[in-house]
């Protein structure tokens, strides 16, 4: 039976009166008649207002690494709540969690907390600028670093008609001052030569290179090990700081994040999502000589809600679980089995496909070889993905409707989730092939 969204739709109409688009983040608006409102989540599953059940592969864009409402983390958060909320003074647990982070992420010799990924990256960039006395910075195509003006720039790959041309760099929407662009260099991902060209000519104006080691908002495209190492070597050679934005990869792709996987240490790194299973807390970690500039070196960092007692307690427990159990290995193993199952279904139908990135946050890509950068995504059959995703969502498997977001796995995804997902996926692939044939859109088979 097709799902009913009667209650979600009615709520949407009510919410429209007080919330632009009826939501609290533009990305949660999926269109009239399609926007979901969630009643609750447990483990790997979520239910909407109409009690439709979904297996969740979005996990709030990654944070819910242990599954929704993890009993131990929630109990720890409640105990944290007993302390109070915020005091405009520090609590003991800040140093405890900072020690945990330092222990898991060697680059984080010292730690400061923030409330969100955006705030953490903002603080990291300010630190790099404060230390170097330079305002410029490099970001890489296909990256997402949050909602502040400095990083709200993207290569307009979608609008490119000729893939051999350079995409135009544009702000993510209106309201981002054009002036900011003067401080920014935008370099293609996995292109060390282009990065070196920029640094050779402009390093006296550049404070930092920001890199997502795995493009968490672009199919999970990973940096090649050579590129990640080249970023380290080039930044050292040209006296520019390297900021690894591990907001999505931190404590997810390995206990020590992507820096552990690659064996590379950044000067400054940011972590957020998997750190507290969804409670609002983030961290900036970095070299001691740099981090001491917060305060001592005149770089401002703070925030009323920073290191609140409840999210901090949730972080302590989440990090303990990630460190002391095999949960991350299970997350990866599930991701691999999911990809193997999808590959079997697609291969048996002659549909070209590939997977990008780490299995705990992998991208599904309709082209025979995985993308190396954002420009490659444009060459894939994302129309096929878009139709398939719609079918999956309507039938109880929530992935991101946009093919640029990876599939996130939690420790709560189990065999039952896998079986159901693959059965819906198989039916979805067949339905998509049929639908696209009917509408005359070329399938990738």
* Contact residues for ligand PMP, defined by CB under 6 A: 61, 116-118, 121, 144-147, 212, 216-217, 245, 247-248, 272
Nearest residue (CB) to ligand PMP, 66 versus 429: 66
Measured between alpha carbons, how far is 241 from 297 in angstroms, rounded to an integer? 16
Least distance in angstroms from the C-beta of 344 to ligand PMP = 30
Helix, coil or strand: residue 406: coil
Nearest residue (CB) to ligand PMP, 365 versus 408: 408
Name the residues annotated as catalytic.
Answer: 144, 245, 273
- Given a contact cutoff of 8 angstroms between Cβ atoms, the answer to whether 257 and 105 are in contact is yes
Nearest residue (CB) to ligand PMP, 303 versus 341: 303
Helix, coil or strand: residue 199: helix
Least distance in angstroms from the C-beta of 182 to ligand PMP = 22
221-222/354-356 β-pairing = unpaired
Least distance in angstroms from the C-beta of 270 to ligand PMP = 7
Nearest residue (CB) to ligand PMP, 120 versus 327: 120
Structure tokens at 355: 């997977």
268-271/241-246 β-pairing = parallel
Sign of the dihedral through C-alpha 144, 145, 149, 153:
negative
Least distance in angstroms from the C-beta of 84 to ligand PMP = 24
Structure tokens at 133: 């006395």
Nearest residue (CB) to ligand PMP, 60 versus 396: 60
End-to-end CA gap in the chain: 29
Structure tokens at 167: 């995409």
Least distance in angstroms from the C-beta of 279 to ligand PMP = 12
Measured between alpha carbons, how far is 49 from 319 in angstroms, rounded to an integer? 32
282-286/110-114 β-pairing = antiparallel
Measured between alpha carbons, how far is 31 from 305 in angstroms, rounded to an integer? 33
What is the DSSP secondary-structure string of 9-57?
A: HHHHHHHHTTSGGGSSSGGG---TTT---EEEEEBTEEEETT--EEEES
Containing H/E element for 222?
strand 221-222
Nearest residue (CB) to ligand PMP, 121 versus 125: 121
């Amino acid at each position: 039976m097709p799902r009913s969204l009667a209650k979600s739709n009615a709520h949407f109409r009510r919410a429209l009166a007080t919330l632009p688009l009826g939501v609290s983040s533009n990305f949660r608006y999926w269109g009239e008649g399609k926007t979901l409102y969630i009643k609750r989540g447990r483990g790997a599953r979520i239910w909407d207002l109409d009690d439709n059940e979904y297996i969740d592969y979005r996990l709030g864009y990654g944070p819910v690494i242990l599954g929704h409402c993890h009993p131990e983390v929630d109990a720890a958060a409640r105990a944290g709540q007993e302390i109070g909320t915020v005091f405009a003074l520090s609590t003991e647990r800040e140093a405890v969690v900072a020690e945990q982070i330092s222990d898991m992420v060697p680059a984080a010799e010292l730690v400061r907390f923030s409330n969100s990924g955006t705030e953490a990256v903002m603080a990291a960039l300010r630190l790099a600028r404060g230390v170097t006395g330079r305002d410029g910075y490099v970001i890489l195509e296909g990256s997402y670093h949050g909602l502040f003006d400095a990083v709200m720039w993207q290569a307009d790959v979608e609008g490119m008609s000729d893939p051999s041309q350079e995409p135009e760099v544009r702000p993510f929407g209106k309201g981002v001052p054009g002036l900011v662009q003067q401080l920014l260099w935008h370099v293609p991902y996995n292109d060390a030569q282009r990065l070196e060209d920029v640094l050779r000519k402009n390093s006296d104006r550049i404070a930092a290179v920001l890199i997502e080691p795995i493009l968490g908002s672009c199919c999970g495209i990973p940096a090649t090990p050579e590129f990640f190492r080249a970023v380290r070597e080039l930044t050292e050679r040209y006296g520019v700081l390297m900021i690894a934005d591990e907001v999505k990869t931190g404590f997810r792709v390995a206990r020590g994040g992507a820096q552990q996987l690659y064996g590379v240490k950044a000067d400054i790194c940011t972590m957020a999502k998997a750190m507290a299973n969804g409670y609002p807390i983030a961290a900036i970690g970095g070299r001691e000589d740099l981090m001491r500039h917060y305060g001592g070196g005149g770089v401002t960092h703070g925030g009323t809600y920073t290191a609140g007692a409840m999210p901090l307690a949730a972080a302590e427990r989440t990090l303990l679980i990630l460190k002391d159990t095999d949960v991350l290995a299970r997350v990866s193993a599930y991701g691999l089995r999911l990809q193997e199952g999808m590959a079997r279904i697609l291969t048996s139908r002659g549909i070209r496909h590939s997977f990008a990135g780490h299995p705990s946050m992998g991208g599904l890509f309709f082209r025979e070889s995985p993308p190396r950068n954002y420009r490659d995504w444009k060459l894939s059959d994302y129309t096929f993905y878009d139709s398939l995703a719609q079918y999956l969502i309507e039938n109880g498997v929530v992935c991101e409707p946009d093919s640029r977001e990876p599939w996130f796995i939690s420790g709560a995804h189990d065999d039952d989730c896998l079986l159901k997902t693959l059965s819906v996926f198989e039916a979805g692939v067949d339905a998509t092939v049929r639908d696209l044939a009917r509408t005359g859109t070329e399938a990738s088979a």
